[in-house]
Amino acid sequence: MSYRPLSPVELDALKEIGNIGLGNAVTSLAQLINRRVNMRVPRSSFLPFEEMIELVGGYEELVGCVSLRVLGDAPSIVLYIFDKESTFHLVDMLMGLPVGTTGELDEMAQSAIKEIGNVLTGSFVSAISMMTGLKMITTVPLFAFDMLGAVLTSLMVAAGRVEDQVLVIETELFHNAETLIKGHFFLLTEPGAIDRLMAALGFSEGQGS
């Protein structure tokens, strides 16, 4: 299983999809935690997963990761990775605690983070689904809080994503200076899913490649 090469125009289209989906997701997150959340312009590219890890931090960095599978017309995996401090901050904001209260993740905190992942993904996916007319259904979220390298490789293996390169739409979320939420978002699509997304956006297969 491998990807056909995508043209710069198609990569731009994916970036645009990311932009719309994430814009929607960030709005939902802002409402959920009642804070302003900013987002960088997403990037889309093919990366070896070693590079994907380096993009976020070190292999041994402690991170929180929420992931969900997307089923339907464009099967893919959505994942959010927040660094340690941001994970704690998000829990505080969601639960209405003063920021800095949470210092470890009990079951309650874990389900709070999963809920955030759920909301982010739900709004991301519904925006894309609406724009493209494709049917997309999300599964229940999975959560891990550990070394970045261990989390990411396990996730890809479990999802059967073991190609050497992955298509990544990635962005960083952040809050204002008072409380930083540093998160990375990734959409890992299956090869067939890209073609369907492209077709739904009006690209014919292989155009411009």
Partner 1 sequence: MEPAKVASDPVEIQVGIADYKIGRDPARLITLGLGSCVGVSLYDPVLKLGGLLHLMLPDSTQFSNVTKPAKFADLGIPLLIDEMKKHGAQLSRLQAKLVGGAQMFSGLDNKMVLNIGQRNVEKARALLKDAGIPILAEEVGGNRGRTMIFDTSNGKVSIRMLGSKLKVI
Question: What residues make contact with partner 1 under the rule CB under 8 A?
Answer: 1-2, 49-50, 53, 58-60, 62, 67-69, 110, 114, 139-144, 146-155, 157-159, 162, 164
**Minimal distance, residue 80 CB to partner 1, in Å:** 13
* 155 vs 193, beta carbon nearer partner 1: 155
**Minimal distance, residue 140 CB to partner 1, in Å:** 5
Q: Which residue has the tokens 């983070």?
A: 113
Q: How far apart are CA 81 and CA 87, in angstroms?
A: 9
**Minimal distance, residue 117 CB to partner 1, in Å:** 10
* 26 vs 65, beta carbon nearer partner 1: 65
Q: With residue 16 as reference, give the H or E element that holds it.
A: helix 8-33
Four-point Cα dihedral 183, 189, 193, 199, nearest 10: 50
Phi, psi of 152 (to 5 degrees): -65, -45
**Minimal distance, residue 20 CB to partner 1, in Å:** 26
* 12 vs 50, beta carbon nearer partner 1: 50
Q: Which residue has the tokens 């998000």?
A: 90
* 37 vs 167, beta carbon nearer partner 1: 167
Render 152-203 in DSSP notation, one character per residue. HHHHHHHTT---SEEEEEEEEEE--TTS---EEEEEEE-HHHHHHHHHHTTP
* 1 vs 177, beta carbon nearer partner 1: 1
**Minimal distance, residue 147 CB to partner 1, in Å:** 3
Given a contact cutoff of 8 angstroms between Cβ atoms, the answer to whether 66 and 141 are in contact is yes
